[in-house]
Structure 1
Amino acid sequence: MAKDKKAPEEDDTSSETETTEADNDTDELDADDTPQRTAKADAFWEKVGVEPVEIALPKGVGLTLRAYRMSDAVEDGEEEPEAEADEDEKPVKADKKDKAKAKDKKKDDEDDEEIDDSEESETDSDDEADEKDSDEEPEAAEPEEIPIFLTLNGKLPLFESAEALVEFVKSGAPTDLEAIDTWDELVKGIKVDYVVPAEDDSYELDLVVKNLRGGHDSWDPELMIGAGELARDLGYALRLPTVMSTLAVGSPLDGLDNHLRSVVDGGLKAMFAKRKIRKIGTQQTALAWRGIVNKINETVDWRN
């Protein structure tokens, strides 16, 4: 009688290998899902002189567009028309009686005029100088580089997806960014795949206050410097006087920004900058930045 054959044992090694390969494939898909900035996107944004920007706020993360242009290239300075003279208002000729009265009055006043002649000459010379100064046109302000965003009616639309941003750009909405010279070219050529912000154009305003409250040793210079740059740009573009004054040249936050830049640059200046930073009040600085973030938050129009 033949012995029963032993059933072959299942190979656990093959199943483990298949599971590992599946996990690797999933990881690769996750990595591929992250938008990558392509060479075509770089060329497009460089051509139109605009960049996509990603802004993280306490309420969420959104996309917008930002450009830098010289102020005289985007502001339309229309001159006011000169007032036209009324043809009906013509000089009236004096009659002989009026001329005689004027002649007698002139003769009676000659003595007084001689007495006051010296004083009047001085006064006349002063009046002529003042009139000359008033006739001189004030010097026009020199053009400066200004930021322009995809703002609309004093609001900052932030888009949760690249698709929503592209749809808005192509919708014909009267955004402030259409004042740039390459707007038509941007509308025609923009693609969803192009809307990938560069690393330097991603800002985390939602982390600023938390970072400041962590104490001087935890302060992130690059985070703070980037937040300051964006806040200044938005303060100007959205006409936010509180934000502009809080970050103005000579303000405490401006001084902090200078110290942080010295820390990033390194060297001997970095050592002195760190000492100065430790003297800055943590709570006061955090409150100032909280006010900035809140003001910017109030202007945001979230778009899905």
Structure 2
Amino acid sequence: MDEESDSTGATAESRSAATDALWTDVRVQPIEIALPSGVGYTLRAYRLSTEVRAPEIDEREEDFPEASVSPTATDEDGEDVGGIDEAELTAQALAAGKESGRHTTGDGEAETDGHDASAADKADAGRDDEESLDAGEGEEAAEGEEEAEPEDVPVFLAERGRLLLFRSPEGLVEYVRTSTDHELAQLDTWDELRERIEPDDIVPLEEDRYELDLVVENLRGGHDAWDPSLIIQAGELARDVAYALRIPSVMTALAPGSPLDDLDEGLRTVEAGGFGAFFARRRLRKIDPQTTAALSWRTVIGKISSVVDWRD
């Protein structure tokens, strides 16, 4: 995309003072996303996790009930899509343990396996003490979780797990003025935004323009051609979208310690320069441009594209 202008004829540098004031007041920003299928505009806000509800997500092909997924279950791309329901597994184990220590008489009544009543009572008392201790530890852990500091989380203009992308600023503004059936409607500043927004206000800042359509091609060009800024920005958007729209495969692909996260960290070090950049470049040269980098990113972009709802 041309860095100097967009379809509105405006540039990030030419954003008016009124436009800047609008987005500052409502704490929302317009963003521009370029995907293989086109370029679109949407809105994104950051709010404390305690201020927003969990998104309403329609069932997707990759969504599986956790209890029914085996530990090694994978999706069509070979990625892990879930795990065992630990609560259910624990309940089954406890039930099995109780059954293994008892047997039934011919009348179907249970009796103990050769232990006298006193020993059984002592064992039961010991279990009760352990359960009380476990319960106390569980309550302390729950209190610790409740006291955890809230953090900023992304919220997009999205409906039931689908990211809304508009091909024109006019289409975006018309939707904002006429609809409340989306995730941003919960924001305390939404009514003010609806009243003040104009098509001329849809001018994303440079850091809010994401060219996901160029990532795979850039990675395939080889280590010397890699554009750190392009790939780092794409990763930031992908993480935001994956979290806000609950896309497990993308969250896993970009999770700390993953190959794509290692790529991201290396590129950030290179971009920062300094002494560490030399060693970061050496580490990056060990990454296969075709498989680890380009193929993995193609999968991520495909997953994101699959949850986009294009609007005119």
Interval containing the TM-score (normalised by the shorter chain)? 0.7 to 0.9
Residue 157 of structure 1: how far off its partner (Å): 1.4
Matches of 1:218 and 1:113 in 2, distance apart? 77
The residue type equivalent to 1:274 in the other structure is R
Q: Which residue of 2 aligns with 1:192?
A: 199
Q: Which residue of 2 aligns with 1:176?
A: 183
Residue 205 of structure 1: how far off its partner (Å): 0.2
Picking from 128, 133, 147, the partner of 1:129 is 133
Percent of matched pairs sharing the same residue = 52
Q: Which residue of 1 aligns with 2:287?
A: 280
SS at match of 2:34: strand
Where do 5+ consecutive residues of structure 1 fail to align? 1-29, 77-111
Matches of 2:294 and 2:120 in 1, distance apart? 68
Q: Which residue of 2 aligns with 1:56?
A: 34
Q: Which residue of 2 aligns with 1:109?
A: none
The residue type equivalent to 2:133 in the other structure is A
Matches of 1:169 and 1:194 in 2, distance apart? 12
Q: Which residue of 1 aligns with 2:301?
A: 293
Q: Which residue of 2 aligns with 1:46?
A: 24
Matches of 1:32 and 1:130 in 2, distance apart? 61
Q: Which residue of 2 aligns with 1:37?
A: 15
Distance 1:185 1:131, change over 3 A: same
Residue 65 of structure 1: how far off its partner (Å): 0.3
Distance 1:192 1:281, change over 3 A: same
> TM-score, normalized by length of structure 2?
0.71
Residue 115 of structure 1: how far off its partner (Å): 8.0
Q: Which residue of 2 aligns with 1:13?
A: none
Matches of 1:154 and 1:54 in 2, distance apart? 19
> TM-score, normalized by length of structure 1?
0.73
Q: Which residue of 1 aligns with 2:310?
A: 302
Distance 1:61 1:128, change over 3 A: closer
CA RMSD, aligned part only?
2.5
Distance 1:51 1:32, change over 3 A: closer
Distance 1:199 1:281, change over 3 A: same
The aligned runs of 1:147-226 (5 Å cut-off) are 147-226=154-233
The residue type equivalent to 2:199 in the other structure is V
Residue 124 of structure 1: how far off its partner (Å): 5.1
Asked whether 1:254 is paired with 2:254, we answer no
The residue type equivalent to 2:51 in the other structure is A
Residue 122 of structure 1: how far off its partner (Å): 4.6
Matches of 1:61 and 1:114 in 2, distance apart? 76
Q: Which residue of 1 aligns with 2:47?
A: 69
Matches of 1:128 and 1:34 in 2, distance apart? 65
Question: Counting helix residues as a fraction of each chain, which structure ranks higher?
Answer: 1
Aligned length: 240
After the TM superposition, which parts of structure 1 deviate over 6 Å for at least 4 consecutive aligned residues? 112-120
Q: Deviations over 1:35-88 (max 9, x none)?
A: 531111111101110100000011110000000011101128xxxxxxxxxxxx
Matches of 1:122 and 1:57 in 2, distance apart? 61
Q: Which residue of 2 aligns with 1:143?
A: 150
Q: Deviations over 1:113-158 (max 9, x none)?
A: 8888876765554454345446667132542211000001221111
Q: Which residue of 1 aligns with 2:76?
A: none
The residue type equivalent to 1:291 in the other structure is T
